């Protein structure tokens, strides 16, 4: 702690984007964190209220450029920068800072895999070796004291939370997994894109990055580590005409002798004490409207009509559990703060 306060002083880089604004919203209500710096290069000099009117009037520091920041007294940084820009930025930060990265820049542990999927060489391979891949519930033992945490993608979060315990307990075939995921448009970020125009998105649903989405190798990486052997999954994302949320429908082949009830029992046992992951009773299905604005993940388990198969369904808010909420949750664990601090709000409904 620093700055004459018992609160951890934090900076948010990329505060003018959706994940940056959501991080700011959550940190503003956190009893143990204080916002000291807000960065947004293109909007430097402006008040955050000019960028996001819902955040006006909070007495927050004005937006500034990263190069202009005096890091004296800053304890931790949330990097909410676009993919491909974070590696060099983090490499230039003081080593004493705790860094929670919401981009994809440190998620893939193999730098060659990163280069293949992101189109350029990894720019900070030494830092990559320090990064902890941070789905909080699955990485809690590796987070305390970490210097750099790579927050997972939103799609991998929604897929790995239901899949990881089942793969670890050999209840499903790790080589026969189909993930059909549907996301709101905020997952594409705030930059102007033709494909994100209202007329392009409203009143329709479409698949994209078919067979080539960058979150595929991220999911495979983590399931491969759990299973002890390389894993390949079928993953197809779809864009929905809604602002927030991810609904993942996951089709799995059961291990010999296992049934849908065994999967539910395994997941309920694994997440029974977790504050943000809830396994629903038999017959109940998650919905994105039940997690909107919250850090929760809801999981449902169903027997398929096809023998030997089951269906998992998970729902998260892509901007909270899929981004800013998980980032705050990770920092809480890194610093030894109460894990639920700043994250106790319930979902907004309707």
Active site residues per annotation: 154
Q: Is 162 exposed, middle or buried (0-12, 13-18, 19+ CB in 10 A)?
A: buried
DSSP letters, 315-349, are EE-TTIIIIIHHHHHHHHHHHT--TTTT--PPPP-
Alpha-carbon distance of 43 to 62, in angstroms, equals 10
- CB distance 38 to 31 below 8 Å: no
Q: Could you check whether the bond before residue 132 is cis, i.e. omega within 30 degrees of 0?
A: no
Specify the length of the chain in residues: 350
Alpha-carbon distance of 40 to 59, in angstroms, equals 17
- CB distance 253 to 295 below 8 Å: no
DSSP letters, 243-279, are SS-EEEEEEEEEPTT--HHHHHHHHHHHHTT-SSEEE
- CB distance 204 to 182 below 8 Å: no
Strands across the sheet containing 206-207: 206-207, 234-239, 172-183, 246-254, 309-316, 297-303, 277-279
Alpha-carbon distance of 35 to 99, in angstroms, equals 15
Alpha-carbon distance of 229 to 184, in angstroms, equals 33
Alpha-carbon distance of 277 to 299, in angstroms, equals 8
């Amino acid at each position: 702690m620093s700055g004459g306060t018992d609160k951890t002083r934090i900076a948010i880089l990329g505060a003018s984007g959706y994940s940056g604004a959501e991080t700011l919203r959550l940190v503003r209500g956190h009893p143990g964190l204080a916002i000291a710096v807000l960065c947004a290069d293109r909007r430097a000099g402006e008040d955050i209220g000019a960028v996001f009117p819902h955040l006006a009037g909070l007495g927050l520091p004005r937006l500034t450029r990263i190069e202009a920041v005096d890091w004296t007294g800053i304890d931790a940084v949330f990097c909410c920068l676009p993919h491909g820009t974070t590696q060099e930025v983090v490499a230039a930060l003081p080593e004493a800072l705790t860094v929670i990265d919401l981009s994809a820049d440190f998620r893939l542990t193999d730098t060659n895999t990163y280069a293949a999927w992101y189109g350029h060489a990894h720019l900070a391979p030494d830092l990559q070796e320090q990064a902890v891949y941070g789905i909080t519930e699955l990485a809690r033992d590796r987070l305390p004291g970490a210097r750099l945490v790579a927050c997972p993608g939103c799609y991998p979060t929604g897929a790995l939370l239901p899949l990881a315990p089942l793969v670890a307990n050999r209840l499903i075939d790790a080589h026969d997994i189909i993930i059909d995921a549907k996301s709101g448009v905020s997952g594409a970020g705030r930059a102007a894109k033709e494909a994100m125009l209202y007329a392009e998105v409203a009143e329709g649903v479409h698949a994209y990055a078919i067979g080539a989405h960058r979150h595929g190798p991220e999911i495979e990486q983590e399931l491969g580590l759990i299973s002890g052997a390389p894993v390949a999954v079928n993953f197809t994302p779809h864009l929905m005409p809604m602002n927030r949320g991810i609904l993942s429908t996951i089709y799995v082949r059961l291990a010999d002798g296992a049934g849908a009830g065994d999967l539910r029992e395994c997941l309920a046992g694994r997440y029974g004490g977790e504050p943000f992951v809830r396994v629903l009773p038999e017959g109940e299905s998650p919905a994105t409207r039940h997690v909107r604005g919250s850090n929760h993940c809801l999981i449902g388990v169903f027997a398929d009509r096809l023998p030997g198969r089951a269906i998992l369904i998970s729902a998260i808010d892509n901007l909270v559990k899929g981004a800013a909420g998980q980032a705050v949750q990770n920092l809480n664990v890194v610093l030894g703060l109460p894990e639920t601090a700043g994250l106790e709000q319930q979902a907004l409904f309707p």
